[in-house]
Amino acid sequence: MKADLQAKWIHAAIPALLIHVSIGSVYCWSVFKQTIAQNFSVPPQQVEWGFSLAIFFLGMSAAFLGPFVEKDIKRSSILALVCFVSGLALTGLSIAMHFLPGIYLFYGVLMGIGLGVGYLTPIKNLMLWFSDQKGLATGIAVAGFGLAKVIATPVMEFLINQFGLVAMFFILAIVYGLMMLTAFVLIKRPEGYVYNAKKGKVNRFSIIKQKSFLPIWLMFYLNITCGLALISQEKDILKSLLTSDGVSGMAILQIVAVVMMADAAFNTGGRLFFSSFSDKLKQRETSYQVLFTMSIAACLIYFAGQFIAAGALWPVLILLFLVNAGYGGGFSTLPVLLDQHFGISTLSTVHGLVLSAWGIAGLSGNQLSAFIVNTLKLNYSSVVIVILCLYVISLAAISYVKRLKPVVND
């Protein structure tokens, strides 16, 4: 029993964490975005496409390369390593050579492909090894993706201050390369697992045509869009609120930093809680119903708090913390929901197809809030009204899925 548990960690959990902690550093973009813009003497909005493209190609590569991951996780893990690490190194080289398109090509496209393949690679393997605790297992791995920002942010700031921006990319490429290489060496399928070529080559269109696919895709897309719409504005919301309360500049920065750390903790905690909670449920959709109900309640608490005491900080904190928890939980619970409806044999393919929603939401989430605040000139409460409506649609979509009979091909 002890040896079996040890094998689960060595060949599944540890490789998953090594990969996801590495690629999850993509969410540290805000740490060096301004510095990159200053290096090229362009506004930050001009380099922002580097991050947007990275998330877009994460989703698209996952959608198209799911069958490749399904067939051979050794090859997929080495492909993720090569694309992600070379993308980091070539981004640093592009900055050194003052080649702005390199940010889009290497950080956006090349690294994005590594993100998508790397994100998918350990998920099904975890579910095969931890067959009795699938939700908890995937939650641990996906929590690593969320926790990466907490780990990497101070490291990146230290490296930039000590060695400069270009050197930071080269150093991280080496460190993450070693971590992902270790994952490549350790990762393997459980003894006795045999890849079924016939089931593994399932037609993508046959998956998309299933009644449950599009509602699942929609609720996943909307959850990410809502999360990004709020998360992308949280610094500005807090600064605006604290400034109106007469808080000094340095104190504002300190409070924002603490809140951002707490946000990351709730994001990570949500990934662990909702996925492990789903293990105790007969139908995984219930976990999403709780998640969306919580997010709707957070929006309502925000408005109630504003009504009771306009400009109060606590309703904003409740909104940010709970939305972050739901945002993270939506990612970690997805694999087990798809396993319930489509089976384990084609999980990487189906998971990849649904992750295309992440790629599209990566382009639309930030722009939604920017359009409301900057173009329509409305306040941040208007953003909350929009995401409240989207959460209601998400709840309706997953409730519909819960009524459908799963189409499992195992």
Q: What is the pLDDT of residue 197?
A: 64
Residue 250 is encoded by which pair of tokens? 């340095």
Q: What is the pLDDT of residue 2?
A: 54
The per-residue pLDDT of the chain, averaged, comes to 89
Query: For the domain bounded by 207-410, which CATH number is listed?
Result: 1.20.1250.20
Q: Which residues of 308-347 are buried (b: 16+ CB within 10 A; e: fewer)?
A: eeeeebebbbbbbbbbbbbbbbbbbbbbbbbbbbbbbbbb
Has residue 75 got a pLDDT over 80?
Answer: yes
Give 241's pLDDT tier (boundaries 50, 70, 90).
confident
Query: Can you tell me the mean pLDDT for 161-187?
Result: 96
CA–CA separation, 301 and 120 (whole Å): 36
* H-helix segments, 41-133: 44-47, 49-71, 73-96, 101-102, 111-129
380-392 per-position pLDDT tens digit: 889 999 999 999 9
CA–CA separation, 212 and 218 (whole Å): 10
Q: What is the pLDDT of residue 363?
A: 81
Classified as helix, coil or strand, 178 is helix
CA–CA separation, 343 and 65 (whole Å): 18
Range(s) within the chain of domains with CATH label 1.20.1250.20: 1-195, 207-410
Residue 401 is encoded by which pair of tokens? 């899925």
Give 320's pLDDT tier (boundaries 50, 70, 90).
very high
Q: What is the pLDDT of residue 64?
A: 92
Has residue 49 got a pLDDT over 60?
Answer: yes
259-318 per-position pLDDT tens digit: 888 888 899 899 999 999 998 888 999 999 999 999 999 999 999 998 887 778 899 999
pTM here is 0.89
Better pLDDT: 39 or 150: 39
Q: Which residues of 120-129 are buried (b: 16+ CB within 10 A; e: fewer)?
A: bbbbbbbbbb
Please identify which residue in the block is written with the tokens 């909104």: 319
1-195 is a CATH 1.10.10.10 domain: no
Has residue 219 got a pLDDT over 70?
Answer: yes
Give 322's pLDDT tier (boundaries 50, 70, 90).
very high
Has residue 255 got a pLDDT over 90?
Answer: no
Residue 219 is encoded by which pair of tokens? 């609720």
How many C-alpha atoms does 317 have within 13 Å on its Cβ side?
11
Amino acid at 281: L
Give 370's pLDDT tier (boundaries 50, 70, 90).
confident
